């Protein structure tokens, strides 16, 4: 019996037990989540899904899951891998089905009603998860299989799924006593609501600010396409004849980089960095502290000293001490380089008659001037070569040369917003691999940042590979009335980065969905994404895809040379900005006693402790640090630079041979991209590399080695 038939039988069984059976049967026939999608490639029927469908599907999904869990837990036969571990792996299909669509859209295309449903459903789903993880009869069966694994003749993936399942129960409180379990339930419920509230506050606060300019002289220094975008934004808000700048990165960052008006730069910078700390209904000061304290309480309830110790147990780093030592090893040379960069900025400011200290709102503006003077490189020179279409073709070309992948744009398939495109992904021989959605531009209904996610994970059923459906969501520069979307080089690298995550999901070739694709430790998941950035910046590759959007001419060698010479420029600032957030994350989550006061006060103490320059602020200040307070990176923000060691070391292996060395690309695909979480990540890396990675390529890339 296939999964959809089984799902329908379970739901119908519930309907027959319900006093409102007729009403529910009607809902079953009209709610897309209760039936097979009947769409190409089993894509979600976004055109049919309405807000009113979510809550009934969540509730019925939970009830269907409860029936399945009860069947597994009450089984009178001896616990086996098949009737317990595999049965658990295959349970909860309806709940997973609605959850993936709902939570993805809550991030990428939300509205007031979706946010209301999210608040209502969060405690219910949290309680349901606890009901599974704290089910004593169920855990007894899982533990029995775990204790007898040596007699079961399991293969590598079976063993990993058993290990992951058993540890999930233990790390979720299965060994706690009754009183402790009730306390854990309370903590989990509160955390689910607070993390959701943190993210919703940030979206609301980001959308609430507009810098409206009426005087053209206030636009001095800004590139024409940035001005045009601001005019287009104003027009869309019925303020034609004005210019509006927002706190979306594609708006605020160019403003800080180019606008000659220091007072206006300071104004928008303060708005950007004071988000959710304005003592209003969207203030996250107390929420961040509560989240950190609840996480600590949960970790200690489970037998760990801190939340960081709890999280890192399942990472490559293993311990907080190892992470902090690693970050400090980078912090010292990064701080030295940043101070050198600050001295250069001060020199220019003094020459301009601005003798006071460098403000954070000054840094990007004067760095751009210095880069122009030192390397004759202006970001605006690059942008015409990085149109959305050309960069997309560049990404596809790299994927073809490395892995033989082909991409075919799909028409007439449902998408959740008009900006979204869907693509079929094929092997060179035409074998179907999966589907990728791509969603590039900012809007009020989308949270900030860039991320990859999935609507369906890859798995193998009855020896047949079930293809994944993945998505990348970004907030890149929009097209204007006179030009296509033209990317900054940072946006180009972000595109390649997120596509690397997508490849991790698309090329997965494992048996169990719980182990597929990006289901790996946080400090390993950034390897596939960050290694792709290296191809984006390589001169050989740039010549292949960076072509002027008007003339079609490839990017000139002279411009590539300027880009390469400026390669380590500003890395002191960027690394300090990033590392300070990583250290802040660890300070919050490695605590063994509760934090008091407000988040902004705690952050100030941490910045003083690490010696943060007054001219730089952490990349993510506490009150809008969504990565750790609503995005799953708590005690894990360090993972980007940890994976940076891996990705620079990995790319170094290609550079020593050739950029598209087939032996190395095949090895990376087979040992990293296809394996998901089926084995220890360092073992997978060493199988590709032949040894553990070296930190030297990372230091060199960032200009932090002694030679730089």
What is the spatial distance between Cα 633 and Cα 307, in angstroms, rounded to a whole number? 12
Q: What is the mean pLDDT of residues 331-340?
A: 95
Class of 285-377+572-637 in CATH: mainly alpha
DSSP 8-class letter at 441? S
Give yes or no for a contact between 210 and 246, defined as CB atoms under 8 angstroms apart: yes
Please check the confidence at residue 21 and state whether its pLDDT lies above 70.
Answer: no
Beta-bridge partner residues of 460: 465
CA dist list (Å): 617 to 207, 269, 357 = 22, 11, 14
CA dist 32 and 46 (Å) reads 9
Residue scoring higher pLDDT (9 or 140): 140
Mapping DSSP to helix (H, G, I), strand (E, B) and coil, where does residue 421 land? strand
Pair 326, 317: CB distance under 8 Å: yes
Q: What is the pLDDT of residue 565?
A: 93
pLDDT of residue 15: 47
Element (H, E) at 136: helix 136-147
CA 69 to chain centre: 31
The answer on pLDDT for 18 being more than 90 is no
Average pLDDT, integer, range 334-356 = 93
Check residue 379 and give its pLDDT: 87
Q: Are 576 and 616 in contact (CB under 8 A)?
A: yes
Would you call 459 a catalytic residue per the annotation? no
Helix (H) or strand (E) run with residue 670 in it: none
> pLDDT, tens digit, for every residue of 432-473?
999 999 999 999 999 999 999 999 999 999 999 999 999 999
CA separation for the pair 547, 529 (Å, rounded): 24
Residue 1 has pLDDT above 50, yes or no: no
Domain covering 384-565+640-701, topology: 1.10.1370
**Which residues, other chains included, contact 374 with Cβ-Cβ below 8 Å and sequence gap of 6+?**
566, 569
Distance CA 30, CA 416 (A): 19
Torsion sign, CA atoms 473, 476, 478, 479: negative
Lowest mean pLDDT among 227-231, 377-381, 682-686: 377-381
Average pLDDT value for residue range 144-162 = 96
**Residue found by looking up tokens 């306390």 in the block:** 183
According to DSSP, the β-strands at 432-439 and 451-456 are unpaired
Which CATH topology does 3-175 take? 1.10.1370
Q: What is the mean pLDDT of residues 643-657?
A: 94
> What is the percentage of the chain residues whose pLDDT exceeds 90?
93
> What value does the mean pLDDT take over residues 5-21?
49
Average of per-residue pLDDT across 410-431: 97
Report the relative pairing of strands 432-439 and 464-466 from DSSP bridges: unpaired
pTM of the model: 0.94
pLDDT score for 2: 47
Contact partners, residue 347, CB within 8 Å, separation at least 6: none
User: At which residue do the structure tokens 């009855």 appear?
Assistant: 462
Whether the per-residue pLDDT at 9 is higher than 60: the answer is: no
- For residue 705, what pLDDT is reported? 82
Tens of pLDDT, residue by residue over 403-417, are 999 999 999 999 999
Q: Single out the catalytic residue among 498, 574, 587, 674.
A: 498
Q: What is the pLDDT of residue 26?
A: 58
Mean pLDDT for the chain overall:
94
Q: Where are the alpha helices (DSSP H) in 218-319?
A: 224-236, 249-258, 262-273, 285-301, 307-312
What torsion do the CA atoms of 83, 86, 87, 91 make, to the nearest 10 degrees? 180
Tens of pLDDT along 88-125? 999 999 999 999 999 999 999 999 999 999 999 999 99
Residue-wise pLDDT tens digits, 260-289: 999 999 999 999 999 999 999 999 999 999
b/e code 123-141 from CB counts within 10 Å (16+ = b): eebbebbbebbbbeebbeb
Hey, where are the domains in the chain? Answer: 3-175, 209-273, 285-377+572-637, 384-565+640-701
* pLDDT tier, 355 (very low <50, low <70, confident <90, very high otherwise): confident
Using an 8 Å Cβ cutoff, are 692 and 681 in contact?
A: no
Phi, psi of 703 (to 5 degrees): 70, 25
Least confident of 17-21, 242-246, 542-546, 669-673: 17-21
Identify the pLDDT of residue 19.
42
* Helices and strands (H, E) in the chain, number of each type: 29, 9
Give 530-581 pLDDT, tens digit per residue: 999 999 999 999 999 999 999 999 999 999 999 999 999 999 999 999 999 9
Span 300-314, average pLDDT: 98
pLDDT bin (cut points 50, 70, 90) of residue 508 is: very high
């Amino acid at each position: 019996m296939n999964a959809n038939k089984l799902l329908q039988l379970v739901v119908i069984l519930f309907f027959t037990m319900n006093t409102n059976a007729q009403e529910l049967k009607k809902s079953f026939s009209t709610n897309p989540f209760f039936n097979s999608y009947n769409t190409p490639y089993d894509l979600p029927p976004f055109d049919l899904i309405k807000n009113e469908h979510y809550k009934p599907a969540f509730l019925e999904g939970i009830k269907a899951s409860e029936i399945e869990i009860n069947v597994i837990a009450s089984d009178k036969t001896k616990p086996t891998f098949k009737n317990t571990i595999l049965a658990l792996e295959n349970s909860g299909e309806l709940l997973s089905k609605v959850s993936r669509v709902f939570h993805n859209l809550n991030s990428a295309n939300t509205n007031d009603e979706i946010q209301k449903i999210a608040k209502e459903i969060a405690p219910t789903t949290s309680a349901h998860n606890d009901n599974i993880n704290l089910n004593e009869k169920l855990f007894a069966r899982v533990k029995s299989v775990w204790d007898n694994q040596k007699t079961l003749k399991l293969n590598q993936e079976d063993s990993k799924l058993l290990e992951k399942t058993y540890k999930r129960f233990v790390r979720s409180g299965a060994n706690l006593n009754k009183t402790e379990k009730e306390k854990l339930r309370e903590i989990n419920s509160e955390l689910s609501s607070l993390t959701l509230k943190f993210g919703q506050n940030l979206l609301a606060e980001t959308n609430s600010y507009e810098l409206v300019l009426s005087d053209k002289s206030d636009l001095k220094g800004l590139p024409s396409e940035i001005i045009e975008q601001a005019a287009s934004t104003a027009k869309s808000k019925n303020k034609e004849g004005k210019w509006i700048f927002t706190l979306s990165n594609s708006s605020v960052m160019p403003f800080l980089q180019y606008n000659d008006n220091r007072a206006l730069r300071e104004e928008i910078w303060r708005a950007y960095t004071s988000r959710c700390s304005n003592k209003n209904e969207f203030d996250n000061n107390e929420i961040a502290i509560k989240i950190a304290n609840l996480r600590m309480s949960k970790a200690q309830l489970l037998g760990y000293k801190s939340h960081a110790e709890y999280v890192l147990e399942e990472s490559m780093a293993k311990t907080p001490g190892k992470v902090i030592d690693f970050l400090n090893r980078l912090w010292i040379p990064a701080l030295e380089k940043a101070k050198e960069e600050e001295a250069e900025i001060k020199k220019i400011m003094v020459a301009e008659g601005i003798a006071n200290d460098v403000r954070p709102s000054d840094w990007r503006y004067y760095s751009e001037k210095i880069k122009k003077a030192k390397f004759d490189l202006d970001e605006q020179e690059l942008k015409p070569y990085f149109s959305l279409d050309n960069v997309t073709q560049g990404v596809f070309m790299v994927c073809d040369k490395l892995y033989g992948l082909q991409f075919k744009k799909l028409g007439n398939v449902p998408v959740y917003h008009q900006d979204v495109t869907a693509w079929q992904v094929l092997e060179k021989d035409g074998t179907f691999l999966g589907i990728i959605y791509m969603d590039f531009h900012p809007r009020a209904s989308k949270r900030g940042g860039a991320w990859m996610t999935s609507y369906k994970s890859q798995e193998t059923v009855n020896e047949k590979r079930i293809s994944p459906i993945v998505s990348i969501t970004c907030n890149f520069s929009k097209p204007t009335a006179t030009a296509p979307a033209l990317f900054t080089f940072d946006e180009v690298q972000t595109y390649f980065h997120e596509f690397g995550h997508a490849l991790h999901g698309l090329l997965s070739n494992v048996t169990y969905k719980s182990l597929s694709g990006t289901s790996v430790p946080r400090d390993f998941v950034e390897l596939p994404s960050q290694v792709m950035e290296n191809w984006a910046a390589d001169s050989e590759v740039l010549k292949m895809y960076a072509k002027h959007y008007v003339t079609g001419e490839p990017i000139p060698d002279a411009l590539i040379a300027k880009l390469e010479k400026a390669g380590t420029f500003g890395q002191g600032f960027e690394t300090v900005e990033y590392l300070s957030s990583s250290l802040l994350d660890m300070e919050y989550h490695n605590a063994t006693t509760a934090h008091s006061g407000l988040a902004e006060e705690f952050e100030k103490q941490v910045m003083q402790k690490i010696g943060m320059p007054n001219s730089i602020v952490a990349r993510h200040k506490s009150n809008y640090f969504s990565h750790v307070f609503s995005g799953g990176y708590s005690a894990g923000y360090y993972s980007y630079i940890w994976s940076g060691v891996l990705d620079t070391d990995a790319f170094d292996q290609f550079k020593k041979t050739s950029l598209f060395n087939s032996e190395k690309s095949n090895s990376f695909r087979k040992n990293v991209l296809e394996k998901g979480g089926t084995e220890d990540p360092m073992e997978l890396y060493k199988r590709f590399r032949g040894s553990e990675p070296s930190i030297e390529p990372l230091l060199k890339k960032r200009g932090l080695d002694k030679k730089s």
